[in-house]
């Protein structure tokens, strides 16, 4: 008996899918190939935003991927507003505080923090004005801080923080100068004629100095470099 073998064939279709790169807020960023897939961080929200679409090629191994993508912009920056008119951050729109920082033989390095507590985007550029104050009348003690001026525009969205490195010299504690006990510091945001008082008890000299140094504002809350 002859057996007829009937071949069974199956048919179907398979689709390959991949994640296409979501455009990052930094429009200058580029990726190595349109065939590669992945996700890009959203600079404005700090979350990934992948989209799906058909792909006919297999993504290259991670080790073979090259990218000229710039570091993602931190959430405290609003890049889309950089080239648009943005109001300066005023004292009433800011919460100004001093972080912990660190110390060395020369003194203490602390972050001077500016948080946008308003409901609108605002801008800061350069270094703030800082000086020691004492007494119930808040009079200035010694010379104002040496300012290391920078020109990076920092555009803060609501609840975002920028900070400037603040250096407090230990020289007054070691010297035989005429000393005064400061209650804190008076801080002028860049380009502002109004100041805020920030508690920061410290011993300083009434002459010589300056014994404070402050750098330009940068994104983030823990900048201590001056």
Q: What is the pLDDT of residues 74-107, one digit of tens each?
A: 444 445 445 568 899 999 999 999 999 899 999 9
- Cα(29)–Cα(41) distance, rounded to whole angstroms? 12
Q: Which sequence spans correspond to the domains of the chain? A: 18-73, 91-219
pTM (2 decimals)?
Answer: 0.64
Contact indicator for 182, 173 with CB cutoff of 8 Å = no
- Model pLDDT for residues 143-179, shown as the tens digit of each residue: 999 999 877 889 999 999 999 999 999 999 898 899 9
Length of the chain counted residue by residue: 226
222: DSSP letter = -
Contact indicator for 165, 109 with CB cutoff of 8 Å = yes
Which fold is adopted by the domain 91-219? Immunoglobulin-like (2.60.40)
Q: Which residues, 6+ apart, have CB-to-CB distance to 87 below 8 Å?
A: 120, 122, 123
């Amino acid at each position: 008996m002859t057996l007829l073998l009937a071949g069974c064939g199956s048919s179907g279709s398979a689709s390959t899918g991949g994640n296409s790169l979501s455009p990052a807020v930094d429009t200058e960023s580029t990726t190595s190939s349109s065939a590669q897939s992945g996700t890009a961080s959203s600079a404005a929200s700090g979350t990934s935003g992948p989209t799906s679409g058909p792909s006919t090629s297999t993504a290259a191994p991670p080790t073979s991927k090259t990218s000229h993508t710039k570091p993602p912009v931190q959430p405290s920056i609003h890049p889309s507003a950089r080239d648009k008119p943005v109001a300066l951050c005023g004292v009433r729109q800011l919460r100004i505080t001093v972080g912990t920082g660190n110390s060395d033989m020369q003194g203490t390095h602390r972050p001077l923090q500016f948080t946008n507590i308003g409901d609108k985007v605002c801008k800061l550029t350069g270094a703030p004005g800082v000086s020691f104050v004492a007494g119930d009348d808040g009079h200035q003690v010694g010379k104002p801080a040496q300012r290391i001026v920078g020109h990076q525009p920092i555009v803060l969205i609501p609840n975002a923080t920028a900070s400037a490195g603040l250096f407090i010299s230990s020289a007054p504690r070691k010297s035989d100068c005429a000393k005064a006990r400061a209650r804190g510091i008076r801080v002028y945001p860049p380009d502002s004629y109004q100041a805020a008082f920030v508690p920061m008890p410290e011993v300083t000299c009434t002459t010589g100095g300056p014994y404070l140094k402050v750098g330009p504002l940068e994104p983030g809350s823990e900048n201590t470099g001056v």
